[in-house]
Amino acid sequence: MVNGRLVHVLESGNLLSNVQCGFRKDHSTLDHLAEGKHLQHLERTIQLCINNVQKWVSENGFRFSVSKTTCVHFHRQRIFTEPALHLDGQPIPVKDRLKATRLRDEASVFSAELEGIALTLTVIKKLTKYHKNFVIYSGSLSALQAIQSKNFKVINIRRLYNLIRKFPSYFHISFVWIPAHVGIQGNENVDKFAKEALNRASCSGKLICWSDLKPKMNAYINSIWQRDWDTEGANKLHEVLPNLGEDLHRRGKGAGRKRETAICSLRVGHTWLTQSYL
Protein backbone atom coordinates (compact mmCIF):
# COMPACT_ATOMS: atom_id res chain seq x y z
CA MET A 1 0.00 0.00 0.00
CA VAL A 2 1.37 3.41 -0.96
CA ASN A 3 0.37 6.72 0.58
CA GLY A 4 -2.21 8.51 -1.59
CA ARG A 5 -0.42 11.86 -1.26
CA LEU A 6 2.82 10.25 -2.39
CA VAL A 7 1.20 8.80 -5.52
CA HIS A 8 -0.38 12.18 -6.29
CA VAL A 9 3.00 13.91 -6.08
CA LEU A 10 4.63 11.22 -8.24
CA GLU A 11 1.92 11.62 -10.87
CA SER A 12 2.03 15.42 -10.78
CA GLY A 13 5.78 15.40 -11.26
CA ASN A 14 5.52 12.97 -14.17
CA LEU A 15 7.76 10.58 -12.27
CA LEU A 16 5.49 7.68 -13.16
CA SER A 17 3.53 7.00 -16.31
CA ASN A 18 -0.25 7.04 -16.20
CA VAL A 19 -0.46 3.25 -16.47
CA GLN A 20 1.85 2.70 -13.50
CA CYS A 21 -0.33 4.20 -10.80
CA GLY A 22 -3.91 4.81 -9.94
CA PHE A 23 -6.33 5.48 -7.11
CA ARG A 24 -8.66 2.83 -5.78
CA LYS A 25 -11.13 2.67 -2.94
CA ASP A 26 -9.42 3.00 0.48
CA HIS A 27 -5.92 2.76 -0.97
CA SER A 28 -3.71 3.63 -3.91
CA THR A 29 -1.38 1.43 -5.89
CA LEU A 30 1.62 1.41 -8.16
CA ASP A 31 0.58 -0.76 -11.11
CA HIS A 32 2.37 -2.42 -14.01
CA LEU A 33 5.85 -2.03 -12.54
CA ALA A 34 7.21 -4.98 -14.52
CA GLU A 35 6.18 -7.57 -17.05
CA GLY A 36 8.00 -10.68 -18.22
CA LYS A 37 8.19 -14.46 -18.30
CA HIS A 38 11.02 -15.16 -15.86
CA LEU A 39 10.49 -14.77 -12.12
CA GLN A 40 14.10 -13.82 -11.34
CA HIS A 41 14.01 -11.00 -13.90
CA LEU A 42 10.71 -9.75 -12.49
CA GLU A 43 12.07 -9.91 -8.96
CA ARG A 44 15.10 -7.78 -9.85
CA THR A 45 12.99 -5.30 -11.83
CA ILE A 46 10.36 -4.85 -9.11
CA GLN A 47 13.01 -4.56 -6.41
CA LEU A 48 14.78 -1.86 -8.47
CA CYS A 49 11.48 0.05 -8.76
CA ILE A 50 10.95 -0.22 -5.02
CA ASN A 51 14.48 1.03 -4.33
CA ASN A 52 14.05 4.03 -6.65
CA VAL A 53 10.70 5.01 -5.14
CA GLN A 54 12.05 4.49 -1.62
CA LYS A 55 15.02 6.76 -2.38
CA TRP A 56 12.74 9.48 -3.71
CA VAL A 57 10.47 9.10 -0.68
CA SER A 58 13.36 9.55 1.74
CA GLU A 59 14.63 12.64 -0.09
CA ASN A 60 11.23 14.36 -0.08
CA GLY A 61 10.11 13.70 3.47
CA PHE A 62 7.63 10.90 2.87
CA ARG A 63 7.52 7.57 4.65
CA PHE A 64 6.50 4.06 3.62
CA SER A 65 4.39 1.86 5.88
CA VAL A 66 6.08 -1.51 5.57
CA SER A 67 3.28 -3.31 7.40
CA LYS A 68 0.74 -2.01 4.87
CA THR A 69 2.82 -2.66 1.76
CA THR A 70 2.13 -5.71 -0.36
CA CYS A 71 2.98 -6.86 -3.85
CA VAL A 72 0.30 -8.51 -5.96
CA HIS A 73 1.37 -10.37 -9.09
CA PHE A 74 -0.81 -11.73 -11.88
CA HIS A 75 0.47 -14.35 -14.26
CA ARG A 76 -0.54 -16.39 -17.27
CA GLN A 77 1.66 -19.28 -16.19
CA ARG A 78 1.33 -20.29 -12.56
CA ILE A 79 4.29 -19.15 -10.47
CA PHE A 80 4.65 -21.33 -7.40
CA THR A 81 7.66 -19.52 -5.92
CA GLU A 82 7.09 -16.12 -4.45
CA PRO A 83 9.67 -13.42 -5.25
CA ALA A 84 11.71 -12.09 -2.33
CA LEU A 85 11.03 -8.33 -2.17
CA HIS A 86 12.24 -6.06 0.62
CA LEU A 87 11.49 -2.57 1.88
CA ASP A 88 13.68 -0.99 4.57
CA GLY A 89 15.26 -4.38 5.08
CA GLN A 90 11.90 -6.03 5.80
CA PRO A 91 10.23 -8.53 3.44
CA ILE A 92 7.15 -7.44 1.48
CA PRO A 93 4.50 -10.17 1.26
CA VAL A 94 3.46 -11.24 -2.23
CA LYS A 95 -0.24 -12.01 -2.33
CA ASP A 96 -2.05 -14.36 -4.65
CA ARG A 97 -5.82 -14.54 -5.03
CA LEU A 98 -7.13 -17.42 -2.94
CA LYS A 99 -10.82 -18.24 -2.83
CA ALA A 100 -12.62 -21.24 -1.35
CA THR A 101 -16.17 -22.47 -1.02
CA ARG A 102 -17.95 -25.19 0.92
CA LEU A 103 -19.81 -27.94 -0.94
CA ARG A 104 -22.51 -30.29 0.25
CA ASP A 105 -21.35 -33.30 2.23
CA GLU A 106 -22.64 -35.62 -0.50
CA ALA A 107 -20.40 -34.07 -3.16
CA SER A 108 -17.77 -36.34 -4.70
CA VAL A 109 -14.14 -35.46 -5.40
CA PHE A 110 -15.07 -35.14 -9.08
CA SER A 111 -17.73 -32.53 -8.31
CA ALA A 112 -15.33 -30.72 -5.98
CA GLU A 113 -12.73 -30.44 -8.76
CA LEU A 114 -15.32 -29.07 -11.19
CA GLU A 115 -16.51 -26.59 -8.57
CA GLY A 116 -12.92 -25.42 -8.12
CA ILE A 117 -12.59 -24.81 -11.86
CA ALA A 118 -15.90 -22.92 -11.89
CA LEU A 119 -14.69 -20.81 -8.97
CA THR A 120 -11.51 -20.04 -10.90
CA LEU A 121 -13.53 -18.90 -13.91
CA THR A 122 -15.47 -16.46 -11.73
CA VAL A 123 -12.17 -15.00 -10.49
CA ILE A 124 -10.84 -14.75 -14.06
CA LYS A 125 -14.02 -12.91 -15.07
CA LYS A 126 -13.01 -10.06 -12.76
CA LEU A 127 -9.59 -9.76 -14.44
CA THR A 128 -10.81 -9.40 -18.02
CA LYS A 129 -9.89 -5.72 -18.09
CA TYR A 130 -6.22 -6.51 -17.58
CA HIS A 131 -5.55 -9.90 -19.22
CA LYS A 132 -6.91 -12.08 -22.01
CA ASN A 133 -4.81 -15.27 -21.69
CA PHE A 134 -5.24 -17.61 -18.73
CA VAL A 135 -4.12 -21.10 -17.74
CA ILE A 136 -6.06 -23.22 -15.23
CA TYR A 137 -4.10 -26.06 -13.63
CA SER A 138 -5.97 -29.04 -12.17
CA GLY A 139 -4.90 -32.30 -10.59
CA SER A 140 -8.09 -34.10 -11.67
CA LEU A 141 -7.64 -35.83 -15.03
CA SER A 142 -11.25 -37.07 -14.98
CA ALA A 143 -12.57 -33.52 -14.62
CA LEU A 144 -10.46 -32.25 -17.52
CA GLN A 145 -11.46 -35.22 -19.69
CA ALA A 146 -15.13 -34.53 -18.95
CA ILE A 147 -14.64 -30.90 -19.98
CA GLN A 148 -12.81 -31.91 -23.16
CA SER A 149 -15.42 -34.50 -24.13
CA LYS A 150 -18.25 -32.00 -23.44
CA ASN A 151 -20.11 -34.45 -21.23
CA PHE A 152 -23.20 -32.28 -20.83
CA LYS A 153 -24.99 -35.01 -18.88
CA VAL A 154 -23.05 -33.69 -15.89
CA ILE A 155 -24.74 -30.53 -14.65
CA ASN A 156 -21.46 -28.95 -13.55
CA ILE A 157 -19.99 -29.40 -17.04
CA ARG A 158 -22.94 -27.49 -18.49
CA ARG A 159 -22.38 -24.82 -15.88
CA LEU A 160 -18.69 -24.50 -16.82
CA TYR A 161 -19.47 -24.08 -20.51
CA ASN A 162 -22.10 -21.47 -19.69
CA LEU A 163 -19.44 -19.54 -17.78
CA ILE A 164 -16.92 -19.89 -20.62
CA ARG A 165 -19.44 -18.66 -23.22
CA LYS A 166 -19.72 -15.37 -21.33
CA PHE A 167 -16.09 -14.52 -22.07
CA PRO A 168 -15.30 -12.46 -25.20
CA SER A 169 -14.22 -14.41 -28.26
CA TYR A 170 -10.65 -13.08 -28.12
CA PHE A 171 -10.09 -14.62 -24.69
CA HIS A 172 -8.01 -17.77 -24.46
CA ILE A 173 -8.35 -20.14 -21.49
CA SER A 174 -6.18 -23.26 -21.38
CA PHE A 175 -6.58 -26.25 -19.06
CA VAL A 176 -3.49 -28.16 -17.92
CA TRP A 177 -3.35 -31.40 -15.95
CA ILE A 178 -0.83 -31.66 -13.09
CA PRO A 179 -0.30 -35.41 -12.54
CA ALA A 180 1.58 -34.94 -9.25
CA HIS A 181 1.80 -31.70 -7.31
CA VAL A 182 2.81 -32.88 -3.83
CA GLY A 183 5.56 -30.71 -2.40
CA ILE A 184 4.90 -27.68 -4.64
CA GLN A 185 4.54 -24.73 -2.29
CA GLY A 186 1.77 -23.03 -4.22
CA ASN A 187 -0.43 -26.12 -4.24
CA GLU A 188 0.38 -26.87 -0.61
CA ASN A 189 -0.98 -23.44 0.30
CA VAL A 190 -4.10 -24.01 -1.79
CA ASP A 191 -4.70 -27.43 -0.19
CA LYS A 192 -4.36 -25.90 3.26
CA PHE A 193 -6.79 -23.14 2.32
CA ALA A 194 -9.26 -25.73 0.98
CA LYS A 195 -9.12 -27.74 4.23
CA GLU A 196 -9.93 -24.61 6.20
CA ALA A 197 -13.10 -24.25 4.12
CA LEU A 198 -14.33 -27.58 5.56
CA ASN A 199 -15.01 -25.79 8.84
CA ARG A 200 -17.67 -23.69 7.16
CA ALA A 201 -21.32 -24.62 7.20
CA SER A 202 -22.40 -26.96 4.41
CA CYS A 203 -23.95 -25.08 1.50
CA SER A 204 -27.19 -26.83 0.57
CA GLY A 205 -27.70 -24.50 -2.40
CA LYS A 206 -24.72 -25.86 -4.34
CA LEU A 207 -25.65 -28.11 -7.24
CA ILE A 208 -24.14 -31.58 -7.40
CA CYS A 209 -24.36 -34.37 -9.94
CA TRP A 210 -27.01 -37.03 -9.35
CA SER A 211 -24.31 -39.71 -9.38
CA ASP A 212 -22.86 -38.18 -6.20
CA LEU A 213 -25.92 -39.47 -4.35
CA LYS A 214 -25.45 -43.09 -5.47
CA PRO A 215 -23.10 -44.06 -2.58
CA LYS A 216 -25.60 -42.65 -0.07
CA MET A 217 -28.50 -44.45 -1.75
CA ASN A 218 -26.59 -47.74 -1.92
CA ALA A 219 -25.64 -47.49 1.74
CA TYR A 220 -29.28 -46.82 2.70
CA ILE A 221 -30.61 -49.73 0.61
CA ASN A 222 -27.96 -52.09 2.00
CA SER A 223 -28.85 -51.06 5.57
CA ILE A 224 -32.53 -51.95 4.95
CA TRP A 225 -31.49 -55.25 3.36
CA GLN A 226 -29.24 -56.04 6.32
CA ARG A 227 -32.01 -55.18 8.80
CA ASP A 228 -34.43 -57.57 7.07
CA TRP A 229 -31.72 -60.22 6.82
CA ASP A 230 -31.06 -60.05 10.58
CA THR A 231 -34.65 -61.21 11.19
CA GLU A 232 -33.86 -64.50 9.37
CA GLY A 233 -32.09 -66.07 12.34
CA ALA A 234 -33.32 -69.61 11.52
CA ASN A 235 -32.04 -69.44 7.95
CA LYS A 236 -29.09 -71.76 7.27
CA LEU A 237 -27.37 -69.21 5.06
CA HIS A 238 -27.66 -66.57 7.80
CA GLU A 239 -25.40 -68.66 10.02
CA VAL A 240 -22.81 -68.82 7.25
CA LEU A 241 -23.23 -65.22 6.09
CA PRO A 242 -24.50 -62.91 8.87
CA ASN A 243 -23.08 -59.73 7.28
CA LEU A 244 -24.27 -59.02 3.74
CA GLY A 245 -21.80 -56.18 3.29
CA GLU A 246 -18.83 -58.51 3.56
CA ASP A 247 -20.32 -60.81 0.94
CA LEU A 248 -20.96 -57.92 -1.46
CA HIS A 249 -17.38 -56.74 -1.08
CA ARG A 250 -16.02 -60.26 -1.60
CA ARG A 251 -18.15 -60.96 -4.69
CA GLY A 252 -17.35 -57.73 -6.45
CA LYS A 253 -19.26 -56.55 -9.49
CA GLY A 254 -20.40 -58.66 -12.42
CA ALA A 255 -20.43 -62.00 -10.58
CA GLY A 256 -23.59 -63.13 -12.37
CA ARG A 257 -26.76 -64.68 -10.98
CA LYS A 258 -25.78 -68.24 -11.97
CA ARG A 259 -22.48 -68.04 -10.12
CA GLU A 260 -24.08 -66.47 -7.03
CA THR A 261 -26.70 -69.25 -6.90
CA ALA A 262 -24.01 -71.93 -7.12
CA ILE A 263 -21.98 -70.32 -4.31
CA CYS A 264 -25.03 -70.03 -2.02
CA SER A 265 -25.95 -73.68 -2.68
CA LEU A 266 -22.44 -74.78 -1.74
CA ARG A 267 -22.50 -72.72 1.47
CA VAL A 268 -25.78 -74.16 2.77
CA GLY A 269 -25.01 -77.68 1.55
CA HIS A 270 -27.64 -77.84 -1.19
CA THR A 271 -25.60 -79.89 -3.67
CA TRP A 272 -26.22 -83.10 -5.62
CA LEU A 273 -23.90 -85.03 -3.29
CA THR A 274 -25.83 -84.05 -0.15
CA GLN A 275 -29.37 -83.88 -1.55
CA SER A 276 -29.46 -86.66 -4.20
CA TYR A 277 -31.18 -89.10 -1.82
CA LEU A 278 -34.27 -86.87 -1.56
Domain layout of the chain by residue ranges: 4-95, 109-212, 232-275
Backbone angles phi, psi at 170, to 5 degrees: -85, 0
* 229: Cβ contacts below 8 Å, ≥ 6 apart: 238, 244
Read off the pLDDT of each residue in 118-131 and give the average, rounded to a whole number.
Answer: 78
- Overall size of the chain counted in residues: 278
Decide: 118 and 156 in contact? Cβ < 8 Å: yes
Read off the pLDDT of each residue in 255-269 and give the average, rounded to a whole number.
Answer: 75
> Given a cut of 80, is residue 163 above it in pLDDT?
yes
CA nearest neighbour of 146 among 161, 134, 131, 126: 161
Measured from the Cβ of residue 211, the count of other Cβ atoms closer than 10 Å reads: 12
- Predicted confidence band of residue 21 (pLDDT cuts 50, 70, 90): very low
Decide: 54 and 66 in contact? Cβ < 8 Å: no
Residue 229 to residues 140, 157, 221, 259: CA-CA distances in angstroms?
40, 41, 12, 21
Task: Supply angle C-alpha 109, 208, 164, rounded to 5.
Answer: 90
> Given a cut of 60, is residue 20 above it in pLDDT?
no
Read off the pLDDT of each residue in 109-126 and give the average, rounded to a whole number.
Answer: 81
- Residue 2 DSSP code: B
This prediction's pTM = 0.47
Tell me which of 11 and 21 has the higher pLDDT: 11
- Residue 97 DSSP code: -
Read off the pLDDT of each residue in 27-38 and give the average, rounded to a whole number.
Answer: 57
Read off the pLDDT of each residue in 106-115 and give the average, rounded to a whole number.
Answer: 77
Task: Supply angle C-alpha 113, 116, 120, rounded to 5.
Answer: 140
User: Per residue in 215-258, pLDDT tens?
Assistant: 888 888 888 988 888 888 777 777 777 787 766 555 555 567 78
| Secondary structure, 3-state, 238-250 | HHHCCCHHHHHHH
Identify the burial level of 275 via C-beta atoms within 10 angstroms of its C-beta, where 0-12 means exposed, 13-18 middle and 19 or more buried.
Answer: exposed
User: Per residue in 165-212, pLDDT tens?
Assistant: 888 888 888 888 877 655 555 566 666 656 665 666 655 566 667 777
CATH topology of domain 109-212: Nucleotidyltransferase; domain 5 (3.30.420)
User: Per residue in 62-73, pLDDT tens?
Assistant: 666 666 666 655
CA nearest neighbour of 124 among 157, 162, 164: 164
